[in-house]
Structure 1
Amino acid sequence: MHAMQYEITLPADYDMGIIRTRVATRGHLLDDFPGLGLKAYLVRERGDGSPVNQYAPFYLWAAPEGMNSFLWGPGFQGIVHDFGRPVVQHWTGLAYEEGPASGAAPVGATRRRTPLGEGAPPGEAVADAVARHAREARRDGVVASALAIDPRHWELLAFTLWAVGEAPADEGDRFRVLHLSAPGRELLGAGRQW
């Protein structure tokens, strides 16, 4: 599993209805994309618990070939054409869990980044994080949750989809989910990824 996200930060007075229309008219195009586990079409709006207006799709890829096909194909070129080429962040998958609300459509998402302490042995820190992630994924309202790591910066990333209207405030950055494409969700596996 590979996690990927790009963030398009928009002007403070940007009409976010444009993004909502974009997702409503184009979101379905990845509903059967090969190699894609899931894509959450995410937004944050200034004044609604966010300091910025942002379109920030989040992907979980079941296979790197799918990710590469998207990045080098026409799908991502539409983003580049309309907004310029954003930085694409990506993380190596550590664990994936379906939550108690896995049958529900997600309406919110959270992203929490946690640096690994410089003195922390990576193997122990990752094992602890995976165990904590498995417990946290069993909370009420969780649709699905993924844990990944950026070994370049030694940063853990926890991404959770929520079925409840407001994701918990202490979970990091909060987003609204406009659409979920999940053609290969079952291919993401359960539990740790090694």
Structure 2
Amino acid sequence: MFRPQVEGAERIPGDGPVILAGNHLTFIDSMILPLVCDRQVFFIGKDEYVTGKGLKGRLMAWFFTGVGMIPVDRDGGRGGVAALMTGRRVLEEGKVFGIYPEGTRSPDGRLYRGRTGIARLTLMTGAPVVPFAMIGTDKLQPGGAGLPRPGKVTVRFGEAMEFSRYDGMDRDRYVLRAVTDSVMAEVMRLSGQEYVDMYASKAKAA
């Protein structure tokens, strides 16, 4: 149906903990990212993806577990804490953790303000951040569409970013915002998206 064009995959370190941080356009982003990386990528997903009933539910559970999804109940008040602690555990085991700093899919194809969980993870673990951009997946599977359409998809990786200069400052909200914004600026450069300085969840609720 499609063969993603991959740019800069060699920028992902071959071993050790790594955070892959990128934009989020559509549901299939999380299917494509693990397929274009040589190392296994672990990422957070809604627990409903692996708890469905019947044949469809079993197939979804098999697929998402196979590509590295870790189910987390994100509906509760502590969903963000659970996701953060899961990411930390993955990184402390020397693995690759994928994250969408926007926290949800873009409602209109633009890039929205990042949440500071990405900064907390890199400062708590010392893991470098490799920014990436999904390009064209919103055309492949527009919001609400069923099966993906044929189309061109590009996954573009940037240079690794490290923030050791902020060691011990993972509770400073100004540092957390600065680190997050620098990652989002690089994602914007890679994707070419228009940037919106508000959270995507707020835009969806408007």
TM-score by length of 2: 0.30
TM-score by length of 1: 0.31
Structure with the higher helix share, 1 or 2? 2
Structure with the higher strand share, 1 or 2? 1
